[in-house]
Amino acid sequence: MGSLPFSVSDLQTSTSGARSSPTLLCTPLMGTTVDQMLIEMRKAKEIGSDVVEIRLDCLRNFNPRPDLEILIKRSPLPTLVTYRPIWEGGQYEGDETKRQDALRLAMELGADFIDVELEVAHDFNSSIYGKKPENFKVIVSSHNFHNTPSSEAIGNLVARIQATGADIVKIATTALDITDCARIFHIMVHSQIPTIGIVMGERGLISRLLSPKFGGYLTYGALEAGAISAPGQPTAKDLLDLYNFRLIRPDTTVYGIIGKPVGHSKSPLLFNAAFKSVGLNAVYVHYLVDDVKKFFDTYSSPDWAGCSCTIPHKEAALKCMDEIDPIAKKIGAINNIVRRPDGTLTAFNTDYIGAISAIEDGLRGLNGPNPASGSPLAGKLFVVLGAGGAGKSLAYGAAQKGARVVVANRTFERAKELADKVGGQAMTLAEVDNFHPEEGMVLANTTSVGMKPKIDEAPISKQSLKNYCLVFDAIYTPKETRLLREARETGAVIVYGTEMLIRQGFEQYKNFTGLPAPEELFRQLMEKHA
């Protein structure tokens, strides 16, 4: 079992009972009093959870019979009772016999599940043999707070848990790398009895989100961000609303954004809403990736259909590609990767398309529509401030459209290097203020001057903005930079950085799905959440 290569296609052929019902969403109750837990139960039901986990070790003054009677009888949802000892990551430090007595009592009083640790499971299960109510299930759990063992070791652990008489196997390991999740997915898919597989920590997030894809019996979602019962646990609300947890099935296609850090990215919000709006069987997740090559080598089947790519991986990911779009290759940075059905990886840079198309539309608005001609950038003098990743994107994009490009950078050497590549002219940022060989030029700022928190700065003087007919700023925090405000005051057309952000998203969506992006929906979501 441990030596099998991990492949999503195993799913379609597997017929084990674990996949016959959708994955349950369980919300842990962390209240310190019975009253608090009763309030939390009602909230969990309102959010849409299926099961509540009553964590008895969180209760400050626990009185077994009366407290369990209230909690189990008054719960609006099925109950899972856990009394986690300190030696397995919980808070209970008392007598072991009393702890197990409380779990047996929970069973007698009508709990639907109890969770008992592997170390004591054999004796515990023997003690209730023949007394178990009909629909009652024992989850036998093992927690590893250090790492995720080899597939073989996990396979042996599953066998040990099964041997105790468990109804449901629960294995929680710790992610040192996002590829650790693959070993848990492998176990869940191949297990012959219902299995809960979780990889803790931020690098293990996909093990929780994709549980329904791999036939997990149950996954945990916290009531609120602060009330997590294990590292890396998402909220139940995010699972349901942000990641469309209820729509994930074994044949769901997986997309995501690779980065480090990555949790702040709004991309899952846009893409999951878009997929849902057109009924596409796909999900988009956050991938916290340390080693890009290892990531692509591990998740290599066509089900892992592509990703967006953000810092610091835009250049490292280039080396892992089978094919690179010609302009992305020239720019030397990618932000969009698509896996073809044959498993090969193709990369694009959609940043430049997003920015250039927004600038072209701004110019069309200025010149009036002229469908006969090509790009309104053709022949324009196009001044790019900055020679970093975004500067390269705009310089190459503008040159491709026939513009005459000028690159201005703090250090002249970097400006010259980029200008030479696009057949343009170079200067320092200090020289831009006095540069006006003609009227009606286009300006694109890709420096961080004017970005939050230094919002009162601008990369060039208001006086020199008079020579430009259009000004674009790649900064989108704040949306209206000082540069754009002053450009508008001098009569130029302005193009916001948010336009580049939204439009590069349209392009990625098109590359991923082959469908046009739901543009209005993207705009509404950006407006609401940006």
**Which positions are catalytic?**
143, 170, 314, 351
Q: For 422, how many CA atoms within 13 A lie in the half-sphere containing its CB?
A: 32
Neighbours of 145 (CB within 10 A): 13
Say how far apart CA 386 and CA 468 lie, in whole Å. Answer: 17
Surface-to-core class of residue 293, CB atoms within 10 Å of its CB (0-12 exposed, 13-18 middle, 19+ buried): exposed
Under DSSP, is residue 197 helix (H, G, I), strand (E, B) or coil?
Answer: strand
Say how far apart CA 389 and CA 303 lie, in whole Å. Answer: 30
Both tokens of residue 320? 């892992």
Q: Indicate the angle between helix axes 497-513 and 351-367, nearest 10 degrees.
A: 120
> In the sheet that 468-473 helps form, which strands lie side by side, from edge to edge?
425-428, 404-409, 381-385, 441-445, 468-473, 493-495
Say how far apart CA 196 and CA 42 lie, in whole Å. Answer: 24
Say how far apart CA 420 and CA 417 lie, in whole Å. Answer: 5
Q: What are phi and psi of 409, to 5 degrees?
A: -140, 160
Upstream peptide bond of 369 is cis (omega within 30 degrees of 0): no
Residue type, position 94, single letter: G
Surface-to-core class of residue 411, CB atoms within 10 Å of its CB (0-12 exposed, 13-18 middle, 19+ buried): exposed
